[in-house]
Amino acid sequence: MTKTEIKALVKDAEENAMICNIFFSYDHFYENLIPLESNDRLFLSANEDDFILDGYTIRRFKDVLKAKIKRDMCDQILKKEGWIKNLKTPDVDIASWKTVFESLKRINKNVIIEKETLEEKNDEFVIGRVEKIYKDFAYVWNFDADGIWGDSPIRVPYSEITSVTFLAGMLIFFRNI
């Protein structure tokens, strides 16, 4: 697929509230994503995994190898129940990584920042709060698996980021079960 075809498919999914299988250059498997907003370089989507809406992710188009609309029973059920069309798009400016980090700092959310590769030993992962934002990088206070904050913030160059994931009020309604 060409980048133009990928961007058109993502835009169509965004406009029509559809789930996509997106294949990335740094992963052997695809991700199920619901595109919510896009520009020429980045796209914001909700993560879907077996009926579970699991946060938001911002990714780069340059890492996408292929995309296709997901047409299966999970997709049908989520649509019929209204979960997809009622997703709330978070107030995050995706014009650039700098504006992404400014937005996430403003809404004060923990973020997961990844530099993903096909060789997992070369992957990098930071989880925490955005501290300072500069033109080409940001500083993030990170915490470990035990919830212990680091001694100092970690410098994260925008050029190395493949994804930024965060939670925010995903749905605008709750259902009685």
Closest CA to 105 of 65, 174, 71, 153: 153
Largest CA distance in the chain: 48
Q: 169 lies in a domain?
A: no
Residue ending a domain, among 54, 89, 124, is 89
Euclidean distance between CA atoms 23 and 61, whole angstroms: 11
Q: Do 19 and 44 lie in a common domain?
A: yes
Residues (pLDDT < 50) of the chain are: 171-177
Q: What pLDDT was estimated at residue 69?
A: 94
pLDDT digits (tens, 9 = 90+) for 120-155: 777 788 999 999 999 999 999 999 889 899 999 999
Q: What pLDDT was estimated at residue 175?
A: 43
Amino acid at 83: W
Residues 6+ apart with CB under 8 A from 99: 93
Q: What 3-state class would DSSP assign to 70?
A: coil
Q: Do 8 and 77 lie in a common domain?
A: yes
Q: What pLDDT was estimated at residue 78?
A: 83
CATH of the domain at 124: 2.30.30
Q: 177 lies in a domain?
A: no
Domain count, the chain: 2
Q: What pLDDT was estimated at residue 169?
A: 56
Q: What pLDDT was estimated at residue 172?
A: 40
Angstrom distances, CA of residue 42 to CA of 86, 99, 106, 162: 22, 11, 19, 10
Euclidean distance between CA atoms 113 and 71, whole angstroms: 29
Q: What pLDDT was estimated at residue 174?
A: 40
Q: What pLDDT was estimated at residue 176?
A: 40
Q: 33 lies in a domain?
A: yes
Q: Do 17 and 37 lie in a common domain?
A: yes
Euclidean distance between CA atoms 21 and 32, whole angstroms: 5
| Exposed / middle / buried, residue 168 (Cβ in 10 Å: 0-12, 13-18, 19+) | middle
